[in-house]
A = this chain, B = another copy of it.
Amino acid sequence: MKSGNLVIGQSGGPTAVINASLVGVVQEARRHGEIGKVFGMRWGIQGFLQEELVDLGSEPDDVLEAVRRTPSSALGSCRLKLKDEHLPLVLDVIRRHDIRFFFYIGGDDSQNTTHRVVEYCRTQGYELYGIGIPKTVDNDLYGTDHTPGYGSAARYVALSAQQGGVLARDMQKVDPVCVYQAVGRDAGWLAAASALAKKYEEDPPHLIYIPERPFSNEKFFADIERCYSRFGFVSIFVGEGIVYSDGTPVSGTQTRDKFGNPEFGAMGGASAAMVVKSLACEHLDCRGEFQVVESLQMAGMDRVSETDRHEAWMAGVTAVRLAVAGNTGLMVSFERAPGPSYECRYVAVPLLKVNEGKQTMPDHFIDDANSFVTPAFLDYLRPLVGELPEMGRLSYRGI
């Protein structure tokens, strides 16, 4: 194989551990003689097109160690959808800097970028070892058991559900309805993570609605009546992308981003949480509250899952190992070893496979009533998130 320089970029939304993958690449690259300089793309492929490259190889160890623990995308991110006319320019920059190793950390759009760069170089007879590194808090990336970033965001959501749940219980005489919204356009993985907060039946969250199942006002009203009469309050988690059976979003927004995806929460108008809270309060004739935590759950440095951070770092390490072994056109993926205790295996899938679809929550993770998760999902999730703190509880002994 040809030796040469390495470039790494970050793309798409932030996570709390995407920098761990970046640092994994840099640290592993130093161990391989085939790899010369280690460049970072400023602002992803968008900056690469402008030759905005920085020298990562000379970063001191303590800086790398601090960046490994820092959320978001230290190189700066972009959402540029690569066009065909960009490809010759990409190859120009690759040639000019003698780049043989190309790594791009991101979601499905970013994996597609890497695939197209690799394919274009191949057709032009340029030997490039391009490996995608997965990243998304949404956990909807196809071809992997779970995605780096999800465990930490799920931990943020679960902690919020736990703390916000105690709050909802104690404030029930003031606001009997509490609605929280988690990110996730197509999949309910993050909203579903709120279920970890529940220890006893009366604990929040009481109801979880996710994009995998159509939302129905009639069923929702029956659900909240049942919870309200039973617990005295209703705690609800929704995924931002929940839709009615005809495909209409529950959220009030009709705006779309430049990829044609509807914009929820922080971007658009009335969030799903706001609409669901209004529906519930009107139906139960009571006050309520809603919360849209938004992208802070993607950057919760102090709420990171240590497992997630380690796996994200290993994803970077694995990418380099795959490339120096002569692989290209792959994405690092995670496989769960069979058996009772959790073990993650670092494998790979063809980049093309990743764009075959979105990984939504499978049926056996969603309860029959379509308003909660199953124990099987909690078993899947717990090792990714880690232990949650214990909440103190008074006994409320009468006098």
List the interface of chain A (C-beta within 8 A of B).
Answer: 10, 13-14, 19, 37, 39-40, 42-44, 46, 53-56, 58-59, 63-79, 97, 159-160, 162-164, 166-167, 169-174, 266-267, 287-296, 298-303, 389-399
Contact (Cβ within 8 A) A397 B295: no
User: Top 6 closest A-B pairs, CB basis?
Assistant: A66-B392, A67-B392, A70-B392, A163-B299, A72-B170, A73-B170
Checking B70, B173, B394 against A166 with a beta-carbon cut-off of 8 angstroms, the contacting residue is B70
| A71–B293 CA distance with the chains assembled, in angstroms | 18
What copy number does this chain have within its complex? 2
| A27–B300 CA distance with the chains assembled, in angstroms | 35
Contact (Cβ within 8 A) A160 B296: yes
The minimal Cβ–Cβ distance linking A24 to chain B, given in whole angstroms, is: 14
Contact (Cβ within 8 A) A171 B72: yes
Contact (Cβ within 8 A) A55 B296: no
Contact (Cβ within 8 A) A78 B173: yes
Residues in B whose Cβ lies below 8 Å from that of A76: 169-170, 172-173
Can you name 21 A-B pairs with beta carbons within 8 Å?
A: A46-B173, A53-B399, A54-B395, A55-B399, A59-B395, A66-B393, A68-B392, A70-B166, A72-B170, A76-B169, A76-B172, A77-B171, A77-B173, A79-B174, A163-B299, A163-B301, A167-B299, A266-B291, A267-B289, A289-B294, A293-B293
| A97–B289 CA distance with the chains assembled, in angstroms | 36
| A171–B39 CA distance with the chains assembled, in angstroms | 20
Contact (Cβ within 8 A) B295 A164: yes
Scoring A44, A167, A389 by chain B CB atoms within 10 A of each residue's CB, the highest score goes to A167
Contact (Cβ within 8 A) B267 A398: no
Residues in B whose Cβ lies below 8 Å from that of A42: 396
Checking B13, B64, B70, B159 against A302 with a beta-carbon cut-off of 8 angstroms, the contacting residue is B159
Residues in B whose Cβ lies below 8 Å from that of A77: 170-171, 173-174
Q: Which residue of B lies closest to A15 (CB)?
A: B167
Q: Which residue of B lies closest to A66 (CB)?
A: B392
Contact (Cβ within 8 A) B164 A302: no
Q: Which residue of B lies closest to A53 (CB)?
A: B399
Checking B44, B291, B301 against A294 with a beta-carbon cut-off of 8 angstroms, the contacting residue is B291
Checking B58, B63, B160 against A393 with a beta-carbon cut-off of 8 angstroms, the contacting residue is B63
Scoring A56, A71, A171, A301 by chain B CB atoms within 10 A of each residue's CB, the highest score goes to A171
Residues in B whose Cβ lies below 8 Å from that of A303: 302
Contact (Cβ within 8 A) B287 A267: yes
The minimal Cβ–Cβ distance linking A267 to chain B, given in whole angstroms, is: 6
Residues in B whose Cβ lies below 8 Å from that of A266: 289-291
The minimal Cβ–Cβ distance linking A308 to chain B, given in whole angstroms, is: 15
